[in-house]
């Protein structure tokens, strides 16, 4: 179902989604959404039509569900809009593509104020404008559910380049990352330890206090800023393999290593002060890439190791095997109700 604005002009201020029509909700959301430069037909019909000058396009999808993926007590609707965009934009960039459009579906409790959906749209727009200028929302759907659920599908343009896959790492390649490692997991740990009440239930006022005291760490978790432009830069610079670091460096690197049939040999001195958080923290949404020996690393990429022949481990750090452990939505929120 495409977004439409058939009820534009309806007065819905202060009302919940249960008190208005879908058209009235959309009439308030639609003007706030970012437009896509690649949209030939945008929101308003049954489907959007996107330009594909490359004759191919990259497509990915991701869900965020209250409980396993976020907590409303910790995240404002604006935060959720930003993160929903950022996490999908990162997957497009990891293929070496430039993000061009998003399709966004929301299912929310009927008690949700329409104002919150406007705020969510503002977060989407802010993320697209900051991280991937020219990318916008080209359609979507709204529904009602007992659980706040966000589903985003993202599209990207390869601009004539071959996609950069996980399978291309070769012995002797340089292993590099773009983005900060471990900060998002530190932010989540702070929210779990200080953003809850005496019963361990997430608490909005305490989360706000944590955000004020540790803005950079909490923002890394709630509003990540993946290096989207470094995806195409990496592809142009000859990256042999690339992927988004969403589940933690160790876990994602093991996936690349297995796909390529090699070992990724990392060096602790290149991973920062907290090596364990860098390896296993998750939710970083940076980029992991391999480049040919001697290649000049583009953008924000920095070297963290090299590719060696497949041995007894997919990933090593200073020669020792590294467990493929990281972010898991099925277990990450255990012990925190509400």
Annotated binding site for ATP: 140-141, 166, 246
Taking the C-alpha atoms of residue 202 and residue 67, their distance in angstroms, rounded to an integer, is 11
DSSP letter at 202 equals B
Neighbour count for residue 110 (Cβ, 10 Å): 11
CA 33 to chain centre: 18
Taking the C-alpha atoms of residue 47 and residue 173, their distance in angstroms, rounded to an integer, is 43
User: For tokens 């305490």, what's the residue?
Assistant: 206
Which residues make up each annotated binding site? 46, 60-62, 69, 91, 140-141, 166, 244, 246-247, 283, 327
297 close to 259: Cβ distance less than 8 angstroms: no
Which residues make up each annotated binding site for substrate? 69, 283, 327
DSSP letter at 163 equals P
95 close to 58: Cβ distance less than 8 angstroms: yes
Taking the C-alpha atoms of residue 247 and residue 324, their distance in angstroms, rounded to an integer, is 10
Strands (E), the chain: 39-41, 49-50, 58-65, 98-108, 136-144, 149-157, 174-178, 241-245, 262-266, 286-291, 302-309, 315-317, 320-321
Taking the C-alpha atoms of residue 288 and residue 281, their distance in angstroms, rounded to an integer, is 15
CA 165 to chain centre: 18
Which residues make up each annotated binding site for Mg(2+)? 46, 60-62, 91, 141, 244, 247
Describe the crossing of helices 204-213 and 183-194 by its angle, rounded to 10 degrees: 140
Taking the C-alpha atoms of residue 171 and residue 336, their distance in angstroms, rounded to an integer, is 43
User: For tokens 């497009």, what's the residue?
Assistant: 92
Taking the C-alpha atoms of residue 78 and residue 84, their distance in angstroms, rounded to an integer, is 10
């Amino acid at each position: 179902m495409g977004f439409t604005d058939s009820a534009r002009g309806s007065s819905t201020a202060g009302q919940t989604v249960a008190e208005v029509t879908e058209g009235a909700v959309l009439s308030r959301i639609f003007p706030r959404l970012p437009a896509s430069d690649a949209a030939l037909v945008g929101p308003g019909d049954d489907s959007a039509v996107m330009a594909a000058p490359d004759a191919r396009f990259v497509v990915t999808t991701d869900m965020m569900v209250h409980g396993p993926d976020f907590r409303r007590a910790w995240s404002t609707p604006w935060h959720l809009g930003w993160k929903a965009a950022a996490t999908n934009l990162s997957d497009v960039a990891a293929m070496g593509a430039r993000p061009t459009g998003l399709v966004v579906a929301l299912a929310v409790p009927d008690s949700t104020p329409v104002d919150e959906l406007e705020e969510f749209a503002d977060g989407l727009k802010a993320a697209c404008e900051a991280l991937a200028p020219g990318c916008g929302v080209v359609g979507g759907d709204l529904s009602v559910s007992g659980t706040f659920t966000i589903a985003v599908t993202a599209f990207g343009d390869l601009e004539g380049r071959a996609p950069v896959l996980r399978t291309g790492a070769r012995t002797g390649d340089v292993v590099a990352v773009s983005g900060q490692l471990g900060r998002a997991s530190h932010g989540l740990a702070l929210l779990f330890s200080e953003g809850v009440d005496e019963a361990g239930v997430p608490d909005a006022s305490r989360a706000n206090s944590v955000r004020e005291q540790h803005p950079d760490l909490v923002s890394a978790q709630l509003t990540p800023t993946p290096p989207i432009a470094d995806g195409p830069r990496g592809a142009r610079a000859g990256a042999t393999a690339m992927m988004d670091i969403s589940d933690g460096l160790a876990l994602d690197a093991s996936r690349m290593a297995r796909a390529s049939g090699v070992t990724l040999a990392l060096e602790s001195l290149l991973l920062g002060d907290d090596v364990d958080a860098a390896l296993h923290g998750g939710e970083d949404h940076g980029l992991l890439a391999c480049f040919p020996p001697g290649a000049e690393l583009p953008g924000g990429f920095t070297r963290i190791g090299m590719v060696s022949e497949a041995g007894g481990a997919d990933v090593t750090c200073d020669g020792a095997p590294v467990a493929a452990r990281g972010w898991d939505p099925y277990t990450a929120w255990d012990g925190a109700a509400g």
